[in-house]
Chains A and B, each alone.
Chain A
Amino acid sequence: MKWRILLGTLAIVAVAGLLGMIALRERDRMAGFTQAYHARQIEVGAALFENNCRTCHGPQGKGIDGVAPAINAADLFNGQRLAAIGYIGTVEDYVRGVVAAGRPIPSAGTNYPNRMPTWSQRYGGPLREDQVDSLAAFIMNWEEQATGGAVSTPAAPGEVVGTDIALTLPEGNADSGQALAETLGCGGCHLQSTVGPAWQAEGTQPGIGGRAADRFAQPDYTGQATTADQYLFESIVSPGAYMVPGFGQGLMPGNYGGRLSKQDLADLIAYLLSLR
């Protein structure tokens, strides 16, 4: 009986010690979980964004002219956009509110005629509150990138390349083209074949450069190109001219001819041709 009392007392001391140890660590643990959960919300938000938002707000939230504005943009995070519409809350509240309830009327003086749909189940949308929170966490995570990076200025009207594929382009640089493809967010669709044709070689199928070399000669080809360069030119500026089997019309934005300069396009084509 004595050893039982002794061991029992020791166990009680151990319990007190363990509880004390847990108590000391508790503050850090709770902070750690809060941080980890926020990070997981960003992960969830990223997937939600890809599935629900990218079609209008563009890959990486860069916006699509005439469809929906950029959210990965400095003016959202530095408060300019909020000031323009007289919103006095925080950026995060604004983002969460707009995602949840949508925008019944477009902001005046913008070229976005579509209204933002409601997303929260509370307002008849498809997403739960925690999903809205996750999306907001993901969008807010762009802040550093959007405000730290240089603000991209669209090419001036005379300098854009347009849609005439017979145009002679300057010499392209594949490295600049790769960098450009990353900033434009091409990979959002073209890395895997679920949305757009993948650029990289996969299986027996060569990369985009290899495919471009003989695509225009195939019998089902409906475009105007007569060379690999022209085929890629056409695919970027007039994506509807020919649809690769398995992919539908209207998935790729049709406004790159009005956004890219000649040099940009030449660089992109040089990069794509290098993927064989």
Chain B
Amino acid sequence: MSLFRIHLPILDEIKAKGLKPALRDKADEIVTRITAGLNTAEVRGVLRNDPPGRPNPRLKPHDEGFWLHMRPTYYHNLLDGLYPTFRLGWLSTFFFAFELLTGVFLMVYYTPSPLVAYENMLNLLSNVPFGRLMRDMHKLGAELMVIVVALHMLRTFVTGSYKKPRQFTWATGVVLLGVTLILSFSGYLLPWDQLSLWAVTIGASMVEAAPPEMVGRTLNLLVRGAPEIGANGLLRFYLLHVIGLPLVGVVALGVHYYKVIHHGHSLPPGAEEVGVDTAKRVPMEKRTYFMPDILTRELFYVSALIALLIGATAFFYHAPLEPHADTLVTPLHTTAPWYFLWVQGMLKLGDKVLWGLIVPGVLTGMLLVLPYFEVGPSRRYGDRRVGLSVAAVAVCAMAILSYMGTPHYGVSTSADQEAIATLLPQTHPGPLRLAAWGELTVGSYEASAWASAPTASLQELLQTFNEDIQRVESPERTAVEGIMVIEDWQPGLKKITLRVLWTATATGQSGEYSQTAYLHRDSNYGQGE
């Protein structure tokens, strides 16, 4: 008696049916298992776009398989065009997956510690094949995802798709919008450069404003891990970015998706009677089946989008990398990430608690419960003039507040600092660092005499400088002069000093502001980071 008896059913079948039919049947069986219900002949039918048999065998994978279980078996053919969905929900999911994949690649090369995080970035850029591509794609994807998710919400509002029975779908969507924003924001800190540190410092300082003081202080400590952002803060943001928020996102996304299956895709507002939801009762002749139409369409979108994203990051977009984070050096203009500029704009309106916490908090709360209060039955545009007007006003207000959040509005800095910051900004390379190094001829130049500078680059720089120092001229300050001094400092290294001089009218005293930059022949700021 043997200890094991090995029994291979395929051998029995070969014995019974012969070699070829048995293998063909086995292959068919494997295909059916992988596709969760479609055999080889049906897969071929899908690929050829043959009409399905009855009952439609192509519905089986939706029933038996996990992945398609989350997708509807068919759509109303009114949804075939770009309107009304604009594919924004699909795009949001695409970017979520895209960020997960590129993010995992980046995690391999990252350690969440202020001692090495920045060095990790340099290593990624200088020593990891495809490292820059992945970083650029992750960053570009994050920015696009914020845009796409926000537009998706706006679209859902405009077409009235949040109305009964989809109230809860909307609420999970608001959670997903929050997850997207905080995911993007928490990722900001990880490179540990100046941009990260100061953008996040601004964001985190809003938490600190929460009243009463005890709560604000405690929350601030929880978020930053210490009174100032340091090793603990970085670790917290990292864990939030790679585990906490993606988990919340996956759960909320699951619920969101399931609700879409459950209620069906909402149709264009004009397609149904007021107060009736026919999304689940699509007549046979108006159905577009997932297999093969939607599936091929989505596969096409995926491949085209990836090609576009790679092309964009290979040729046009590079994620910025500023100098190492330094808590002692505050750049001249620090701003929150662009999608939080509206909060920064509101902060300029007055009280930090009111405008930084209460108003954004109330707005988010209102957004979350909107479908439970705005219960007008009609989704038609003509019946929702008030709601649509409110949405239009809200979009305009966001745009205006975001503008107000930029340094162009309500920030008083001295004109002399601004004049030099135009040529030598602290947050991006700027014209002086990008100028042709060889054309920075050693010498001392006056901005007003820009036309007589020896090289074209110098003329251009001095002309800009000259325009900027005109703004320093004011009733309080006269006789404004701008001087640029270029010295050879080391082999391949030049020292450039920009100075603004003026006379104060009141006292007759002369004043000056100057800044120095060292530029190396090979520093090549033009390549993006």
Return chain A residues, CB-CB under 8 Å to B492: 39, 42, 141
In-complex Cβ contact of A32 among B297, B306, B493, B527 (8 A): B527
- Cα A234 to Cα B487 in complex, Å, equals 27
Task: Write the A75-94 contact mask toward B (1 if CB under 8 angstroms, else 0).
Answer: 00000000000000000000
CB atoms of A26 and B129 under 8 A apart:
yes
Q: Which of A84-124 contact B (CB under 8 A)?
A: none
Interface residue? B521 (CB, 8 A):
yes
Chief secondary structure at chain A's binding surface: helix
The interface stretch among A12-20, A154-162, A222-230 is: A12-20
CB atoms of B516 and A50 under 8 A apart:
yes
Return chain B residues, CB-CB under 8 Å to A29: 132
In-complex Cβ contact of A141 among B115, B326, B481, B490 (8 A): B490
- Cα A43 to Cα B520 in complex, Å, equals 6
Q: Which of B469-490 contact A (CB under 8 A)?
A: 479, 481, 483, 485, 487, 489-490
Interface residue? A37 (CB, 8 A):
yes
- Cα A9 to Cα B300 in complex, Å, equals 8
Return chain A residues, CB-CB under 8 Å to B68: none
Return chain B residues, CB-CB under 8 Å to A187: 487
Interface residue? B63 (CB, 8 A):
no
Interface residue? A130 (CB, 8 A):
yes
Q: How far, in Å, is A169 (CB) from chain B's closest CB?
A: 27
Interface residue? A175 (CB, 8 A):
no
The interface stretch among B160-168, B307-315, B397-405 is: B307-315
Task: Write the A119-133 contact mask toward B (1 if CB under 8 angstroms, else 0).
Answer: 000000000111100
CB atoms of A204 and B485 under 8 A apart:
no
Interface residue? A216 (CB, 8 A):
no
CB atoms of B314 and A14 under 8 A apart:
no
Known: A141-B491, A142-B490, A202-B481. A33 touches B306 (CB 8 A): no
Return chain B residues, CB-CB under 8 Å to A50: 516
CB atoms of B491 and A18 under 8 A apart:
no
Interface residue? B357 (CB, 8 A):
no
Return chain B residues, CB-CB under 8 Å to A21: 314
Q: How far, in Å, is A51 (CB) from chain B's closest CB?
A: 10
Interface residue? B74 (CB, 8 A):
no
- Cα A144 to Cα B128 in complex, Å, equals 31
Interface residue? A276 (CB, 8 A):
no
Interface residue? B499 (CB, 8 A):
yes
Task: Write the A153-197 contact mask toward B (1 if CB under 8 angstroms, else 0).
Answer: 000000000000000000000000000000000010001111000
Interface residue? A274 (CB, 8 A):
no
- Cα A67 to Cα B499 in complex, Å, equals 31
Return chain B residues, CB-CB under 8 Å to A202: 481, 483, 499, 501, 510, 512
CB atoms of A15 and B516 under 8 A apart:
no
Interface residue? B119 (CB, 8 A):
yes
Q: How far, in Å, is A37 (CB) from chain B's closest CB?
A: 6
Return chain A residues, CB-CB under 8 Å to B306: 11, 15
CB atoms of B129 and A30 under 8 A apart:
yes
Interface residue? A8 (CB, 8 A):
yes
Return chain A residues, CB-CB under 8 Å to B487: 187, 191
Q: How far, in Å, is B396 (CB) from chain A's closest CB?
A: 37
Return chain A residues, CB-CB under 8 Å to B126: 30, 33-34, 37
Interface residue? B293 (CB, 8 A):
yes
- Cα A44 to Cα B523 in complex, Å, equals 11
Residue of B nearest to A46 (CB): B518
Q: How far, in Å, is B460 (CB) from chain A's closest CB?
A: 21
Residue of B nearest to A61 (CB): B490
Return chain B residues, CB-CB under 8 Å to A39: 492, 520-524
Residue of B nearest to A143 (CB): B491
Chief secondary structure at chain B's binding surface: mixed
Q: Interface range on chain B: under 10, 10 to 19, 20 to 34, or 35 or more?
A: 35 or more
Q: How far, in Å, is B387 (CB) from chain A's closest CB?
A: 36
- Cα A241 to Cα B115 in complex, Å, equals 48
Interface residue? B292 (CB, 8 A):
yes
- Cα A21 to Cα B315 in complex, Å, equals 11
Known: A32-B527, A38-B522, A40-B523. A192 touches B300 (CB 8 A): no
Interface residue? B503 (CB, 8 A):
yes
Interface residue? A5 (CB, 8 A):
yes
Q: How far, in Å, is A129 (CB) from chain B's closest CB?
A: 7
In-complex Cβ contact of A1 among B130, B292, B307, B514 (8 A): B292
Interface residue? B497 (CB, 8 A):
yes
- Cα A160 to Cα B524 in complex, Å, equals 46
Return chain B residues, CB-CB under 8 Å to A4: 296-297, 300
Return chain A residues, CB-CB under 8 Å to B300: 4-5, 7-8, 11
Return chain B residues, CB-CB under 8 Å to A217: none
CB atoms of B324 and A130 under 8 A apart:
yes
- Cα A35 to Cα B529 in complex, Å, equals 13
CB atoms of B485 and A1 under 8 A apart:
no
Known: A11-B304, A46-B493, A191-B487. A1 touches B519 (CB 8 A): no
Interface residue? A23 (CB, 8 A):
yes
Which of B131, B296, B307, B527 lies at the interface centre, i.e. has the most chain A CB atoms within 10 A of its CB? B307
Interface residue? A200 (CB, 8 A):
yes
Q: How far, in Å, is B140 (CB) from chain A's closest CB?
A: 14
Q: How far, in Å, is B191 (CB) from chain A's closest CB?
A: 13
Knowing that A8-B303, A33-B132, A36-B522 touch, tell me 14 more A-B residue pairs with CB under 8 angstroms: A1-B293, A12-B303, A23-B129, A29-B132, A35-B524, A40-B523, A42-B523, A47-B518, A130-B118, A191-B485, A191-B497, A192-B497, A192-B499, A203-B510
Chain A contact residues, CB within 8 Å of chain B: 1, 4-5, 7-9, 11-12, 14-15, 18-19, 21-23, 26, 29-30, 32-40, 42-44, 46-47, 50, 60, 128-131, 138, 141-142, 144-145, 187, 191-194, 200, 202-205
Q: Pick 19 A–B contacts, CB within 8 A, sort by A.
A: A1-B296, A4-B300, A8-B304, A18-B310, A23-B129, A30-B126, A33-B529, A36-B522, A36-B524, A36-B527, A38-B522, A39-B520, A42-B520, A130-B119, A141-B491, A191-B497, A203-B479, A203-B503, A203-B510
